[in-house]
Chain A
Amino acid sequence: MKRILQEPLVHFLVLGALLFAGYGALNRNAAPPPGRIVISQGQLASMLETFTRTRQRAPTREEFNGLIKDRVREEVYCREAMALGLDKDDTVIRRRLRQKMKFISDDMAAQIQPTDAELEAYLAAHRDSFRVEPQFTFRQLYLDPAKHGENLALDAAQLIAKLNQFGGETNVAGLGDPFMLDNAFTSAPASEVARQFGQEFAVKLGGLQPGHWQGPIESGFGMHLVCVSERTEGRRPALAEVRDAVRREWDDVQRRKANETFYQELLKHYTVTVEEPAAAGAQIKVAQAK
């Protein structure tokens, strides 16, 4: 057992079965006398329901009998395992129990309903996290440096002159060099521009004056002629616009707080003593746990 536990990639399923079963035995049985196993009506109902939700059908009589036999076997093994103390110092079981405790306090926190005033206050304190990004409506033409070589600057200047002559709303499909990204973008958030063209291009786009073709602007792919037709500045939103996101973050903060309070409450019931590490090889200073 010890050796298996030392191996990160070993399957924990067997241990898992043991753990669940062990926990189930602890949790569900209203402590029948030793040596007597009772599979209660509640347990039968639970087994039936679990099977039905997994398979989307009721078990056959044979399958149900199999489940019951298996439950009895599980019960026997678990009681014997616990009698032997196999559940003690088992990292998997301890972690699982710890996690179940955390679920409980998470759930308690999840019941707390914020008022609008609380959400407003949270938003006011974290305005920048909820900022609406700047958006760009723009068109771009790609110039492939490999195709234009030394003429790149000249070709770019000529094309810009032509484009500006015909005005900002000109259809540009088919001009420039073939490229996988679109020629036109409507109200694209800055992060979306960065995603498609790279960070460098997005930053440069933010510095362009709207209204006419300009460039070339460099991206990771090559050179681009760009015409920004509209730029919406970034802004701080009202609560109504970002309510779901604020609520999510507010919930998260409450959950963390509640978990910590929960732990501190429980800790009050204990005195914690950490012994000094054995002198030999003790290079790690132990911080006081409390």
Chain B
Amino acid sequence: MKMNTRKHSAARTRLAAMSLALVTGGFGQLAMAQTDAPAAARQPPAAVKPDYAPYPDQQFPNRVYWGVAHVHTGYSFDSGMFGVTTTPDDLFRVATGGEVILDNGTRFKQDRPLDWVSITDHAEYMGISDLLRVGDPALLANPQGKRWYEMSKESPQKGVEAAIEAVVSMQTGKPVFDASKITAGAWAHAVSACEKWNQPGVFTTLHGFEWTCAPGGNNLHRTVVFRDGGDRVGQVVPFSTFDSQDPADLWTYMDAYAKKTGGQVLAIPHNGNMSNGQMYDAETFDGKPMDRAYAEFRASHEPLFEATQIKGDGEAHPYLSPNDEFADFEKWWDMNFQKMEPADKSTLNANYVRSALKTGLELQAALGANPYKSGLIGGNDAHLGVVTTPEDNFFGEFANGLPSPERWKTPLVMKHNDPKQGPLVSVWGEQAAGLGGVWARENTREGIWDALKRKECYATTGDRPTVRLFAGWDFAKADLDRADYVANGYAHGVPMGGDLAAAPAGKQPVFLVYAMRDPDGPNLDRIQVIKGWLGKDGKAQERIFDVAVSGGRKIGRDGRCKTSVGNTVDVPNATYSNSIGAPTLSAFWKDPEFDAGQLAFYYVRVIQIPSPRWTAYDAKRYGVTMPDYVPMTVTDRAYTSPVWYTPGT
């Protein structure tokens, strides 16, 4: 029993549990299930009288909270460039269920509110400290500033007059007072909006920015997400690519923040697909081989990879995973975005998160530390001041992708930057993705951020399926259907993002996996476990196991189900039916080829049944026809953070 949408519900829940238990005492038959109390509560410390209610000791996460740690407003340079004027206030309003009018006059509202958001506008825009800010103590200390402040308090009309005075004073090039002492600007606006909308227990806002680094057009972007309130975050300004292009300098900045304020902050790389083999390679920024210290430095600051977003899915690539029939999914054009030409295949290995996880095992064996021991999360990256994920409510990444009959063919970049050569990427190639599902116990900054840090989260390509896993050595098949499977799972195993080490003799890792479809979304096709391990030759390998499939299909001895779930999508009408697939799936799975001496990781991929892609909704709503190369269906999915196995010494 758990409900924590309101602040005091934990206490209320405990009270309710106790009264419930008292009442049920007389009905042995129906109270049977309760005798099997959660394991966490079964073993209280010796000499302490056990509590009657099982709940006081339950600290485990009990709910998925949906959000993104990557979205932009008009404060970002490349949003403003397109005339987007939405503010962080607008984004938070939309995320909590409100409405906004976008810059082409279209009304936008999300299908459902989000639980948490980190707005990550580009640092390169915000970090400049010379913007005028009114109400700042430094300004009020100035006679002219104080006069404006008084005018603005007097009446809105006087405020406007004061603003005009200020503008005039700027245009003459003669500042009325020394502006160098008045720092802040857009960052201060962003920080204050973020403070204003944070409602512990209901909606969480995380302070953040994006470090927009792309030396030579090789994308090394990171979003940077803070755990703390404005009192701490406001003590620093964002670190920009003007400060340094070396990710290690960003991590040093993060350390300096933590040291100065006592706060915490993490970074999440994204769009390896545009890094030209630079995002997840085996070298430092200077091109030197990594050493152990560097690997640890990176891993400790970047606990997550953004695995999917509008500019393409980054989980796997068919060239790297030829035996994975689901790998060819919403692939963006791998490219360097200075030259605007397709990347060389030899660089793909360092562009995708599955291969990064594999490279991590190889580096761990070589260096003694894994730089790529990161969990997976979905980002959105829309630059419109809204999060836009479901297929039927997709507004594009930039203003040129806002809904219109023509948008699908609007070019995003030209081949080799040459308009004559035609588009390399057009808007139809954008995918309506992604979201992050976070397992936490409370919807607060601490609850959400701590879950991100411990990697207890997963990525989806836009829908909201629930996915949960526990890995351990001693789970039995009967544990799968226990009423208290969550308490039992935490007591005897680890959740996604966790570690298993030093296998007991003769034991294999056992996984309990649960998936439930989005309550208002497509059914599930299958649950897969994707295993990566370090072979005897020092090269990392991968293998996919289907562990649960819908509709009574069979999983072969090779661990795969070759039968497709089918397809109910009616493209012309942009509809589908949940007559195939299953609303819930679960699996008890043991690794059949486990070697206790090999480094390994396991993550879960949940595949939904096909549904109409956003392009199909466009075709239907606008009555337009698109060429065959534009996909009309999508097989959305979820990727969990891995569980890692490390051999004992």
CA distance A53 to B233 in the complex (A): 11
Q: Does A56 sit within 8 A of B, measured CB to CB?
A: yes
CA distance A181 to B63 in the complex (A): 9
A171 — nearest CB in chain B belongs to which residue? B24
CA distance A195 to B443 in the complex (A): 15
Question: Smallest distance from the beta carbon of A233 to chain B beta carbons, Å?
Answer: 17
**A7/B398 in contact, CB under 8 A:** no
B80 — nearest CB in chain A belongs to which residue? A95
Inter-chain contacts of B466 with A (CB < 8 A)? 180
Inter-chain contacts of B3 with A (CB < 8 A)? 182, 184-188
CA distance A222 to B23 in the complex (A): 29
CA distance A253 to B120 in the complex (A): 25
CA distance A111 to B163 in the complex (A): 12
Q: Does B125 sit within 8 A of A, measured CB to CB?
A: yes
Inter-chain contacts of B252 with A (CB < 8 A)? 55
Which of A24, A29, A189, A219 is the one whose CB lies under 8 Å from B5?
Answer: A189
Question: Smallest distance from the beta carbon of B248 to chain A beta carbons, Å?
Answer: 13
Which of A31, A50, A171, A180 is the one whose CB lies under 8 Å from B129?
Answer: A50
Tell me the chain A residues, 179-212 only, with Cβ under 8 Å from chain B: 179-189, 191-192, 194-199, 201
Tell me the chain B residues, 73-119 only, with Cβ under 8 Å from chain A: 74, 77-78, 80-83, 85, 87, 89, 93, 97, 112-113
Q: Does A161 sit within 8 A of B, measured CB to CB?
A: no
**B134/A50 in contact, CB under 8 A:** no
Per-position binary interface string of chain B over residues 120-156, scored 1 when its CB falls under 8 Å from any chain A CB and 0 otherwise: 0000110111111111000000000000110011001
Inter-chain contacts of B414 with A (CB < 8 A)? 6-7
CA distance A43 to B180 in the complex (A): 7
Tell me the chain A residues, 129-182 only, with Cβ under 8 Å from chain B: 144, 146, 162-163, 166-167, 169-175, 178-182
Which residue among A9, A104, A110 has the maximum number of chain B CB atoms within 10 Å of its CB?
Answer: A9
Q: Does B2 sit within 8 A of A, measured CB to CB?
A: yes
**A262/B153 in contact, CB under 8 A:** no
Q: Does B476 sit within 8 A of A, measured CB to CB?
A: no
Per-position binary interface string of chain B over residues 158-188, scored 1 when its CB falls under 8 Å from any chain A CB and 0 otherwise: 0111111011001001110011110101100
**B2/A91 in contact, CB under 8 A:** no
Question: Smallest distance from the beta carbon of B484 to chain A beta carbons, Å?
Answer: 7
**A180/B135 in contact, CB under 8 A:** no
Q: Does A221 sit within 8 A of B, measured CB to CB?
A: yes
**A102/B77 in contact, CB under 8 A:** no
**B112/A7 in contact, CB under 8 A:** no
Question: Smallest distance from the beta carbon of A282 to chain B beta carbons, Å?
Answer: 19
Tell me the chain B residues, 186-204 only, with Cβ under 8 Å from chain A: 186, 189, 196-197
A184-B16 in contact given A16-B124, A109-B156, A221-B516 (Cβ < 8 Å)? yes
Inter-chain contacts of A163 with B (CB < 8 A)? 30
CA distance A11 to B237 in the complex (A): 21
CA distance A172 to B17 in the complex (A): 12
Majority SS at the chain B contact face: mixed
**A111/B2 in contact, CB under 8 A:** no
Inter-chain contacts of B393 with A (CB < 8 A)? none
A178-B16 in contact given A9-B413, A254-B156, A261-B160 (Cβ < 8 Å)? no
CA distance A167 to B640 in the complex (A): 41
**B583/A222 in contact, CB under 8 A:** yes
Which of B166, B337, B338 is the one whose CB lies under 8 Å from A104?
Answer: B166
Inter-chain contacts of A286 with B (CB < 8 A)? none
Inter-chain contacts of B440 with A (CB < 8 A)? none
Q: Does A13 sit within 8 A of B, measured CB to CB?
A: yes
**B256/A96 in contact, CB under 8 A:** no
**B517/A104 in contact, CB under 8 A:** no
**A197/B468 in contact, CB under 8 A:** no
Which of B6, B160, B586 is the one whose CB lies under 8 Å from A262?
Answer: B160
**A173/B413 in contact, CB under 8 A:** no
Question: Smallest distance from the beta carbon of A206 to chain B beta carbons, Å?
Answer: 16
Q: Does A8 sit within 8 A of B, measured CB to CB?
A: yes
**A107/B135 in contact, CB under 8 A:** yes
**A56/B236 in contact, CB under 8 A:** yes
**B337/A54 in contact, CB under 8 A:** no
Q: Does B568 sit within 8 A of A, measured CB to CB?
A: no
CA distance A196 to B517 in the complex (A): 10
A44 — nearest CB in chain B belongs to which residue? B180
Q: Does A62 sit within 8 A of B, measured CB to CB?
A: no
**A54/B417 in contact, CB under 8 A:** no
Which of B20, B85, B480, B481 is the one whose CB lies under 8 Å from A171?
Answer: B20
Contact-size category for B: 35 or more
Inter-chain contacts of A43 with B (CB < 8 A)? 180
B274 — nearest CB in chain A belongs to which residue? A9
A27-B173 in contact given A173-B484, A266-B164 (Cβ < 8 Å)? yes
**A173/B584 in contact, CB under 8 A:** no
**A42/B417 in contact, CB under 8 A:** no
Which residue among A26, A100, A108, A178 has the maximum number of chain B CB atoms within 10 Å of its CB?
Answer: A108
CA distance A102 to B253 in the complex (A): 31
CA distance A102 to B74 in the complex (A): 11
Inter-chain contacts of A173 with B (CB < 8 A)? 1, 33-34, 483-484
Q: Does A35 sit within 8 A of B, measured CB to CB?
A: no
Q: Does B628 sit within 8 A of A, measured CB to CB?
A: no
Q: Does A81 sit within 8 A of B, measured CB to CB?
A: no
Tell me the chain A residues, 38-58 only, with Cβ under 8 Å from chain B: 42-43, 45-46, 49-50, 53-57
CA distance A6 to B167 in the complex (A): 30
**A99/B80 in contact, CB under 8 A:** yes
CA distance A175 to B32 in the complex (A): 9
Inter-chain contacts of B484 with A (CB < 8 A)? 173
Q: Does A106 sit within 8 A of B, measured CB to CB?
A: yes
Q: Does B629 sit within 8 A of A, measured CB to CB?
A: no
Q: Does A112 sit within 8 A of B, measured CB to CB?
A: yes
**B159/A111 in contact, CB under 8 A:** yes
Q: Does A92 sit within 8 A of B, measured CB to CB?
A: yes
CA distance A191 to B6 in the complex (A): 13
**A261/B520 in contact, CB under 8 A:** no
**B160/A166 in contact, CB under 8 A:** no
Tell me the chain B residues, 224-246 only, with Cβ under 8 Å from chain A: 235-243
Which residue among B33, B81, B516 has the maximum number of chain A CB atoms within 10 Å of its CB?
Answer: B81
Inter-chain contacts of B16 with A (CB < 8 A)? 184, 186
**B34/A171 in contact, CB under 8 A:** yes
Inter-chain contacts of A55 with B (CB < 8 A)? 243, 252-253, 256
A105 — nearest CB in chain B belongs to which residue? B163
CA distance A163 to B29 in the complex (A): 11
CA distance A12 to B241 in the complex (A): 12
Which of B23, B135, B183, B185 is the one whose CB lies under 8 Å from A49?
Answer: B183
**A7/B413 in contact, CB under 8 A:** yes
Can you list 25 pairs linking A and B with CB atoms under 8 Å apart? A7-B340, A8-B82, A8-B400, A10-B417, A13-B212, A13-B214, A28-B175, A31-B173, A46-B183, A49-B129, A50-B183, A92-B80, A96-B80, A104-B166, A106-B87, A111-B149, A112-B159, A178-B485, A186-B16, A188-B5, A219-B519, A220-B519, A220-B520, A222-B583, A265-B164
A residues adjacent to B (C-beta < 8 A): 3-4, 6-13, 16-17, 20, 24, 26-31, 42-43, 45-46, 49-50, 53-57, 91-92, 95-96, 99-113, 144, 146, 162-163, 166-167, 169-175, 178-189, 191-192, 194-199, 201, 219-222, 248, 252, 254, 257-258, 261-262, 265-266
When A and B form their complex, which 4 residue pairs have the shortest distance between CB atoms, in order from nearest? A174-B33, A56-B256, A198-B519, A46-B180
New A-B pairs, 13, CB < 8 Å, besides A49-B180, A108-B162, A111-B135: A30-B173, A46-B180, A55-B256, A95-B80, A95-B81, A100-B131, A100-B132, A108-B134, A146-B582, A180-B514, A248-B197, A252-B89, A266-B167
